[in-house]
Amino acid sequence: MENKIDFVIAWVDGNDPEWRKERDCYRHPDAHTDSRDIRYRDWDNLVFFFRSVERFAPWVNMIHFVTYGHLPKWLNTEHPKINIVKHADFIPAEYLPVFNANPIEMNLHRISGLTEQFVYFNDDMLLLKPCKQQDFFVDGLPCDIGVMNAHISDREMGNHIEVADMDIINAHFHKKDVLKKSIKKWFNLKYKRELIRNFCLLPWNEFPGLLHQHIPTSFLKSTFETVWNLEEDALKETCRHRFRNSLDLNQWLFEDWQRCSGQFVPRDANAGRSFAFTQDQAKNEQLFRMIKEQKYKLICLNDMVLDDSFEAVKAKLVETLETVFPEKSSFEKE
């Protein structure tokens, strides 16, 4: 019998006037803070996440829907597999209100009733093909890729998060020992062409970085508890940042910890992909075709539209997803 697996998804309604009013009371942009509206705008595709779960992962134990407090009008909150989780239900009061995804993710393990094995989704992620429990966990361990990467801190973007995560990882793990202990997990043919990264970065004494696919991530709740016990001060510092901050840590720290501690099972590097919608309409059309073809099991549809074409791109995305998921799910009101 398989262990229970929960899904967790965090969502914000950037159009909620109450939420916007409270956000604006605290918003004081500085060199390290990112509080742009693009961080919060809604693509109206959340309904397709629930349709994709019902269609392609009906075995899920529970979906923990994390929200500031607002709810989609169409959501069936009485569904037996939905647990509505407000920020105040699990994030320590001293960090509220929060408008930064990173502190929210730092505290996911505090959600009441959360299973040891869970999969975390951003609100721009969904399933495009049938998924088995074994796509996320095997023998109680998360499925992931053990692939190194070279991280370069981007001064213009002010984004040093991955470097900050690596500082902590290298303080607790010796790269040589990690690879020796789990050599078959790090040099695995399932990684295909990504495997070349490990060979190229092998000479470095420390981990220069780890590859993040930006797709739904499998986690052990106990990993969060372990890291909190060992790095409480660093995690609390991120939690104090009400808005996204270039000095933050993020959820990848916990994923990296699982990989470096050997608590993962190698999976196909092509199981999922992250894509970015931009103002390049030709490339956007390619993404729409990819969605219709349902090429990958797991996808992330990132918002990088920086001009006034956002509404048009959003409308086309909703239209495309409707062709893949035309039928309402039981997670929607009748």
Whether residue 330 lies inside any domain: the answer is no
Of 33-37, 258-262, 307-311, the one with minimum mean pLDDT is 33-37
C-beta separation of 214 from 298 below 8 A: no
- Give the pLDDT band (50/70/90) at residue 34: low
Whether residue 85 lies inside any domain: the answer is yes
Whether residue 20 lies inside any domain: the answer is yes
C-beta separation of 67 from 12 below 8 A: yes
Per residue in 75-127, pLDDT tens?
999 999 999 999 999 999 999 999 999 999 999 999 999 999 999 999 999 99
Structural domain including 273 reads: 5-324
- If you average pLDDT over residues 232-261, what whole number do you get? 95
Whole-structure pTM value:
0.94
Q: Kindly give the interhelix angle for 161-172 and 252-260, rounded to the nearest 10 degrees.
A: 30
What pLDDT sits at residue 310?
81
Pairing assessment for the beta strands 265-266 and 141-144 based on DSSP bridges: parallel
C-beta separation of 11 from 51 below 8 A: no
C-beta separation of 142 from 218 below 8 A: yes
Q: What percent of the chain shows pLDDT beyond 70?
A: 93
DSSP letter (8 states) at residue 97:
S
Whether residue 215 lies inside any domain: the answer is yes
As beta bridge partners, residue 157 has: none
What pLDDT sits at residue 15?
87
Q: What percent of the chain shows pLDDT beyond 90?
A: 75
Number of domains in the chain: 1
Whether residue 331 lies inside any domain: the answer is no
Whether residue 253 lies inside any domain: the answer is yes
- The whole-angstrom separation of Cα 6 and Cα 120 is 9
Whether residue 208 lies inside any domain: the answer is yes
C-beta separation of 298 from 125 below 8 A: yes
For 168, list phi and psi in degrees, rounded to 5.
-70, -45
Whether residue 245 lies inside any domain: the answer is yes
